Amino acid sequence: MGEQLRRRPTLADVARMAGVDTSLVSRVLRNDPRGFASAETRERIRAAAQEVGYRANAAARGLRSARTMTLGLLLPGFSSPVYASIAHGVEERAGQHGYGLVLGTHAAGDPHETITDMLMHGRVDGLLVASGRIEDRALRRLVGQVPQSVVLVNRQVRGVAASVVLRDADASAVAVAHLAELGHRRICGIFGPGGLDTMVRRRLGFLAECREQGVEPAVVEMAERDQRAGFDGVGRALARDPRPTAVVAGTFPMAVGALAGLHDAGIAVPRQMSVVALHNDGLADYLVPRLTAVAMPTERLGAEAVELALALVNGGEPRRVVVPDPPRLVRRESTAPLISND
């Protein structure tokens, strides 16, 4: 019959119940190698803990050990499928290491505030920044204060040594190569703002592969990278002379918007215009037509970011990581061989 406690049970409660000292309870419950209690005592302690429903208080533990076992993840918002996927990868891998996740977005407030609060108050052991929107300067300033624990996700910034990115240039190349193989010779790339380094890499990869393939490239640069930007961007692509016969959209939402824009313009996809998205998403199979896309390992991106962050937390050196998995073409219905040359 355990005494009924009104308050949260503490180590002391368990210790009293098992007739041992708190320190021993602590060691046993954490499987501390230095806590080699006799099998019998161990059992008694475990039973007592079980009985009162003991749960270590995270604050006390964190205060004492200076480890929160929590990682922070800073996102631009919850909406984009790419960020959802990254977040999923982060959460899963963090969980495998026994780490929890504190989430912050900066859709509304001042990004630098959020960042500062999480790291500076010691709420998290490390911070993953997966937002393209925070200014480089703010980032450098932050990292100047706590260099050991900030990892950039899907982004590189001069002066920040720890980052994980994907093979963006190769993704563009895969898209272009696919279209070239289908016979397209005038391809338009619709990209987001040139200030975002993913976009820079994708555009460079696009241009390089066009040259490689003997394809005439056109580039449209938009101020955003959402559906509307794709919708508007494809209008600009159609105005080009000579008109391209295929489009590479810099993001998945842009491709969705491009599809809508082409439909509104009365251009049939893929008969009159082929469309490829950079990044894949479950939605692709439910669009009309089903969207050909270049799949990128976004979950793994999140997972690798966690690994790097934990390495830093444990005193490792900052590194620039490129997730090695190659981008992979998922062929669906929005691309087809070039038919007429006009």
Partner DNA sequence: GTGAAAGCGCTAACAT
Partner DNA sequence: ATGTTAGCGCTTTCAC
- Pick between residue 14 and residue 160 the one whose CB is nearest to DNA: 14
**SS percent in the chain: helix, strand, coil, step 5:** 45, 15, 40
Provide the minimum distance between the beta carbon of 66 and DNA in the complex, in angstroms, as a whole number.
7
Decide if 289 contacts 334 (C-beta within 8 A): yes
Residue 282 site contact among its own copies, DNA, none (CB < 5 to 8 Å, cut-off depends on kind)? its own copies
Looking at beta carbons only, is 49 or 210 nearer to its own copies?
A: 49
- The backbone torsions φ and ψ at residue 121, rounded to the nearest 5 degrees and listed phi first, read -85, 5
Query: What's the angle, vertex CA 76, arms to CA 316 and CA 218, rounded to 5?
Result: 100
Which residues, 23 to 52, sit near DNA by CB under 7 A? 23-24, 26-27, 29-30, 32, 34-38, 40-42
Choose among its own copies, DNA, none what residue 79 binds, the Cβ cut-off being 5 to 8 Å by kind: its own copies
Kindly state the smallest distance separating residue 31's Cβ from DNA, in Å: 11
Q: How far apart are CA 212 and CA 100, in angstroms?
A: 46
* Distance, CA of 308 to CA of 170 (rounded, Å): 23
Of 2 and 195, the one with the shorter C-beta distance to DNA is 2
The total of other beta-carbon atoms located within 10 Å of residue 10's CB is 18
Residue 37 touches which of DNA, its own copies, none (CB < 5 to 8 A by kind)? DNA
User: Cα torsion at 219, 220, 222, 228 (round to 10°)?
Assistant: -130
Least distance between DNA and beta carbon 8 (Å)? 6
Q: How far is the CB of 97 from its own copies (least distance, A)?
A: 13
Binding site for its own copies (CB under 8 A): 8, 53, 55-60, 62-63, 68, 70, 77-79, 81, 83-85, 87-88, 91-92, 95, 100-105, 107-109, 116-118, 120-123, 145, 227, 231, 256-257, 259-260, 263, 282-283, 285-288
The strand pair at 100-105 and 70-75 is best described as parallel
Q: Rounded to 5 degrees, what are φ and ψ at 224?
A: -125, -175
Site for DNA in 59-78 (CB under 7 A): 60-61, 63-65
